[in-house]
Amino acid sequence: MGTSATLFKVFDIEVRVHWSFVLILAYGAFQYSSSASNPMIGAAYGVLVILLLFVCVTLHEFGHALVAKRFKVNVPYITLLPIGGVASLERMPDKPLQEFLIAIAGPLVNFILAGLLFPLLLLFRGLQNSAITFDNFNQLLAQMQSPGVVNLLIYLVVTNLALGIFNLLPAFPMDGGRVLRALLAMGMTYVDATRIAVFVGRIMAALFALWGILDVNIFLLLIAFFVYVGGGSEREAVESKAVLRNVLAEQALTSNAVNLYTSERVDRAVDLIMSSYQTDYPVLDLSGRFVGVLTRSRLIYALKEVGPEARIVDVMVKAEEIPICSPSQDLSVIWELMVTKGSRVVAIKRANQLLGLLTLDDISEVFQVYGAKLAGPGRPADSDTMLAAKPEALDA
């Protein structure tokens, strides 16, 4: 996301645009410059068409985002890309009906926009006594590319209808694929529903790719790639969560973990890390109260910038910055919290008593063991995919 710039923020949702968006504007200017008697007017019209198209895409994404927020799902940002937009949801709701409503909200926005714009099209067509050609699709496309208010409205009506229909295709993880998964999950497990939706999505990806090759359409090839890769990644993430739901935090704690104290120096942690597998250490004050964590990254920073004589209390992550979980929470909830907070470590506490720390390494190890046990011979668990998981995304 470092390659994206924030345009504005509304409803606590940032709208970002990727730098590559300028490419689609340039493409629009080039594509439409030949459709007008004056190439400059055609190029300006092409830029306007692309900008209005992405206004519709942004409204589509807000359809997803606002329904998601209605179900207490945080949506930190929407990103506009040359192939569409992405609303980044921090998680998907557990209830299939809620996922169904979130997924279908985007296409419904496009159908509503088409319905609102169509009366305007009829009005301006009457005022300008303009004809709308419906003899064949190619003639309609040619009319849409010519500068003019009526032609622009035709473009927006047709495009919104096309966006709504296209996004409802069962190509998981696109909207239609998520609708399919939600409907399937009403009668089977979420994991099985995801596997079926991904399988159907990959069939659609193959069709998109074939269409893109035959039509020499790079956008269809990009969508095919996104559907194929994105669907597989989400299936593995869902399977990972299913495994981690079977393990409680207290079961994953290391029984012989070592604590550090605020009065000690960094070289004490160096001695410990060289003689054990522990890489992150709870830090207690002299009264035994949990006050922070010396993480592996903070330890390395201290050694490089300050030296082994630095005090642990000066380089540790303060306890207020560490997410807190109870021992009865399952690892899927804790992993989701880590991804959301951007933290590789959480503190497990019962009341005010610190029971220990859980890190991404701990969860990875648990997943490898339990995942291999559940998967059976010939199907190893893939913890790398799980740990690379990102917030959920819905796109147009």
Question: Would you say the C-alpha torsion 211, 213, 218, 223 has a positive or negative sign?
Answer: positive
Q: Which residues contact 152 (CB under 8 A, 6 or more apart)?
A: 45, 48, 49, 52
Q: Please report, as a single letter, which amino acid is at residue 342.
A: G
Neighbours of 254 (CB within 10 A): 15
Q: Please report, as a single letter, which amino acid is at residue 74.
A: N
Label the pairing between strands 13-18 and 345-350. Answer: unpaired
Entry field: residues in the chain? 396
Buried b (16+ CB within 10 A) or exposed e, 325-341: bebebbbbbbbbbbbee
Q: How far is CA 163 from CA 134, 157, 382, in A?
A: 20, 10, 35
What are the φ/ψ torsions at residue 102 (nearest 5 degrees)?
-65, -45
Q: Which residues contact 125 (CB under 8 A, 6 or more apart)?
A: 131, 132, 150
Label the pairing between strands 281-284 and 260-261. Answer: parallel
Number of H helices, E strands in the chain: 15, 12
- Going by C-alpha positions, the residue among 186, 191, 184, 181 that lies closest to residue 374 is 191
How far is it, in rounded angstroms, from Cα 377 to Cα 202?
A: 25
Per the annotation, the verdict on 61 as an active-site residue is yes
Radius of gyration of the chain (CA): 26
Q: Which residues contact 27 (CB under 8 A, 6 or more apart)?
A: 50
Question: Catalytic pick from 14, 61, 264, 365?
Answer: 61
How far is it, in rounded angstroms, from Cα 200 to Cα 174?
A: 12
What are the φ/ψ torsions at residue 91 (nearest 5 degrees)?
-165, 165
How far is it, in rounded angstroms, from Cα 62 to Cα 15?
A: 10
How far is it, in rounded angstroms, from Cα 123 to Cα 292?
A: 66
Q: Name the residues annotated as catalytic.
A: 61
